[in-house]
Structure 1
């Protein structure tokens, strides 16, 4: 069954452009290199432009595990480190049923 991830990321005020550029690069790399990723969607909170949410869906546990070990995931950490206001809040959910 699919694995869904909701990740809340808070950027330091003034770092929004750097964070968004890093995320857009990451999205392109995920699309090009991770066929087991069914959705990798970035959102910005309307009333708080420093808060972002990722909605991610992986076809299975192996795809999710592989995502975390990619070179582009490691690179993302290096790009974001100085621009984040705290650690991301990550919720991992296991799909139970689907229509």
Structure 2
């Protein structure tokens, strides 16, 4: 790994209403996530062919930044509340090989 700490999380929501409520929960948490120094990227995507799925890409400065993110009250609340909207959660941690980042975030 050349730099950063990344993961992809795939959430499958129960139905359209649960998806909307999950999105609102995430948007609420994003108000504080945007202030986290070590959280470089935190983006939710919807696959074009699967509107009940959310795929998150998360990039942190390092593993300590990820752990700091996970310990935040707004994340603890989101982790508790999200389960009522979900059928499944799949997490994949990623080891960086190469890439392009904004100049301030270039890997060493």
Q: TM-score, normalised by structure 1?
A: 0.89
For each residue in 1:4-32, what CA deviation from the matched residue of structure 2 results, as whole angstroms up to 9, or x when unmatched?
11000111113111010011112221102
Match of 1:59 in 2: 61
* Root mean square deviation, CA, Å: 1.3
- What's the secondary structure of 2:57's corresponding residue? strand
Q: What is the match of residue 90 of structure 1?
A: 91
Once the two structures are superposed, residues 38-90 of structure 1 have per-residue CA deviations (whole angstroms, 9 ceiling, x without a partner) of 1001101111111000011001111011111111111002221211112x101
Give the Cα–Cα distance (whole angstroms) in 2 for the partners of residues 71 and 64 of structure 1.
14
* Divergent runs of 4+, >3 A: 96-99
| Aligned position for 1:28 | 31
**Larger Rg computed on CA atoms:** 2
**2:36 aligned with 1:39:** no
1:81 maps to what in 2? Answer: 83
Q: CA separation in 1, counterparts of 2:83 and 2:9? A: 16
**Superposed displacement of residue 98, structure 1:** 4.1
Using the alignment, how far apart are the partners of 1:77 and 1:60 within structure 2?
A: 21
CA separation in 2, counterparts of 1:51 and 1:20?
11
Please list every run of 5 or more consecutive structure 1 residues that lacks an aligned counterpart in the other structure.
none
TM-score scaled by structure 2?
0.82
